[in-house]
C-alpha cells in the first residue's frame, strides 16, 4: 500500500483527561485552537489569562503571576496610541482608561489563580524562542525585560534576542517549581506550536523551534512527571504538506488542526471519555441544525427527541452544563 504521509506512535498520557478534570491552557494561538475544541466538548477549561503568548519567558511569567495572584497597578501600565497597555499582556487586555485595563487584567488574574489551585492539568504551548526585550526608549520600561506583546510600538523600543537552551530550561524550571508549590498534583503537558514564525525568517524560525524542542525534552528526561505531546511533529513531519496550511502558509488549516486534535484525543483520553465526547458532538450537531420550517411536526419531534437525550446526559453527568441545549430543545 502506498503511504501518503508518515504516521508515528504517540505515547499515551499517564493519567488520561476526563470531563471531571479542570484544564488550564497557556501559550500560543495553537493553545486556543485546542482550547476551543475542548470547550465544545464540555471540558472545564481556563485558557490564557494574559492572552496569547509565544516565548518561554512570557509564558513562565504569566503562570508565576497567576500562582502568586499578582494584582497590577497603574505603575505596571503605559499609555500609548490613546490606550493603556501592559507589557506582560496581549492587547485584548488593553483599555481606553487605566482603570478599564486594570479591571480586565486583575479580574482575569484572580479567576485564574482560584482555578489553577485545584486544576488537574496544565497544557503549555511554546511558539518561539525569540524574545523582544525593552530598550530605554520604551515607555514605562524596565530595560531588558521581555515584552509579551509589542502593542504596535516602534521597533527601536525593542531588542531582538534568541534564547539559548539553558535559558529556556531555567525560566520553565522556575515556573514549574512555583506551580508545584501551589498545586503539587497538577499534570503538566508541554507541546511546541506547529505555527511557523516566518516573520523571523525561515532559518531563524527553525533555530527557535530547535531550542524549544531541545529544552523541553531535556526537562522531560529529568522530570518524568512531564509529558510531551508532539503537535509540532504531527504537522511538520507527519502531514508535511502545504495542503494542510492556511493561505498565509504559516498557520495550520482546519484539516491539520482537526488531525492534531484527533491525535490528542487518542493519546490523552480514555475510552469512556471518547464515548461521552461522541455523544456531546452529536448534541452539538443537532443544536446547530437550522430547520427549514421551525413549526413543522418533524422539527418539533426532532426537538423533543434531542431534549430527552440531553436531559438523560445531564442527569448522568451532573457536573456538565447543558443548560443552553436544554433551553433550546425545550422550545
Residue 173 located in a structural domain: yes
Q: Look at the chain and count its residues.
A: 331
Range of the domain at 83: 22-269
Q: 125 with 30: CB under 8 angstroms? A: yes
Residue 9 located in a structural domain: no
Final residue belonging to a domain, choices 218, 239, 269:
269
Whether residues 27 and 102 fall in one domain: yes
CA separation for the pair 122, 62 (Å, rounded) = 13
CA separation for the pair 224, 188 (Å, rounded) = 10
Instruction: Give the pLDDT confidence of 156-182 residue by residue, as tens digits.
Output: 999 999 999 999 999 999 999 999 999
Residue 15 located in a structural domain: no
CA separation for the pair 107, 294 (Å, rounded) = 41
Whether residues 265 and 285 fall in one domain: no
Residue 312 cell numbers, joined = 438523560
Instruction: Give the pLDDT confidence of 98-133 residue by residue, as tens digits.
Output: 999 999 999 999 999 999 999 999 999 999 999 999
Residue with cell 537552551: 165
| H or E stretch covering 93 | none
Residue 265 located in a structural domain: yes
The residue among 2 and 294 whose pLDDT is bigger is 294
The number of folded domains in the chain is 2
Whether residues 264 and 303 fall in one domain: no
Residue 181 cell numbers, joined = 508549590
Count Cβ atoms below 10 Å from residue 272 Cβ, excluding itself.
11
Give per-residue burial for 90-117: e unless 16+ CB within 10 Å, then b.
Answer: beebbbeebeebbebbbebbeebbebbe
Final residue belonging to a domain, choices 222, 238, 269:
269
| Predicted pLDDT of residue 245 | 87
CA separation for the pair 94, 101 (Å, rounded) = 5
pTM of the model: 0.94
Residue 119 located in a structural domain: yes
Whether residues 52 and 183 fall in one domain: yes
Whether residues 236 and 327 fall in one domain: no
Residue 248 cell numbers, joined = 498565509
Whether residues 258 and 284 fall in one domain: no
Count Cβ atoms below 10 Å from residue 283 Cβ, excluding itself.
17
Residue 188 has pLDDT above 90, yes or no: yes
CA separation for the pair 226, 11 (Å, rounded) = 12
Amino acid at each position: 500500500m502506498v503511504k501518503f504521509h508518515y504516521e508515528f506512535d504517540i505515547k499515551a498520557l499517564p493519567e488520561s483527561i476526563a470531563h471531571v478534570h479542570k484544564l488550564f491552557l497557556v501559550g500560543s494561538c495553537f493553545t486556543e485552537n485546542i482550547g476551543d475544541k475542548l470547550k465544545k466538548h464540555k471540558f472545564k477549561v481556563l485558557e490564557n489569562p494574559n492572552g496569547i503568548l509565544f516565548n518561554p519567558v512570557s509564558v513562565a511569567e504569566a503562570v508565576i503571576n497567576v500562582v502568586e495572584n499578582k494584582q497590577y497597578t497603574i505603575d505596571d501600565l503605559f499609555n500609548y496610541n490613546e490606550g493603556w497597555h501592559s507589557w506582560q499582556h496581549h492587547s485584548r487586555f488593553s483599555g481606553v482608561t487605566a482603570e478599564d485595563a486594570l479591571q480586565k487584567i486583575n479580574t482575569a488574574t484572580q479567576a485564574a489563580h482560584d482555578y489553577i489551585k485545584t486544576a488537574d492539568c496544565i497544557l503549555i504551548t511554546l511558539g518561539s524562542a525569540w524574545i523582544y526585550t525593552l530598550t530605554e526608549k520604551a515607555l514605562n520600561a524596565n530595560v531588558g525585560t521581555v515584552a509579551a506583546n509589542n502593542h504596535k510600538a516602534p521597533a527601536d523600543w525593542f531588542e531582538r534576542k534568541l534564547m539559548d537552551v539553558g535559558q529556556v530550561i531555567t525560566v520553565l524550571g522556575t515556573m514549574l517549581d512555583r506551580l508545584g508549590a501551589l498545586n503539587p498534583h497538577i499534570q503538566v503537558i508541554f507541546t511546541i506550536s506547529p505555527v511557523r514564525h516566518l516573520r523571523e525568517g525561515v532559518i531563524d524560525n527553525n533555530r527557535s523551534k530547535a531550542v524549544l524542542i531541545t529544552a523541553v525534552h531535556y526537562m522531560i528526561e529529568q522530570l518524568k512527571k512531564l509529558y510531551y505531546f508532539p503537535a509540532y511533529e504531527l504537522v511538520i513531519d507527519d502531514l508535511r504538506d502545504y495542503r494542510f496550511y492556511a493561505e498565509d502558509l504559516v498557520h495550520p488549516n482546519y484539516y491539520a488542526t482537526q488531525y492534531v486534535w484527533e491525535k490528542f484525543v487518542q493519546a490523552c483520553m480514555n475510552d469512556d471519555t471518547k464515548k461521552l465526547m461522541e455523544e456531546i458532538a452529536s448534541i452539538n450537531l443537532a443544536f446547530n441544525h437550522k430547520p427549514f420550517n421551525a413549526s413543522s411536526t418533524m422539527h418539533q419531534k426532532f426537538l423533543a427527541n434531542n431534549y430527552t437525550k440531553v436531559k438523560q446526559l445531564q442527569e448522568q453527568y451532573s457536573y456538565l452544563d447543558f443548560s443552553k441545549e436544554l433551553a433550546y430543545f425545550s422550545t
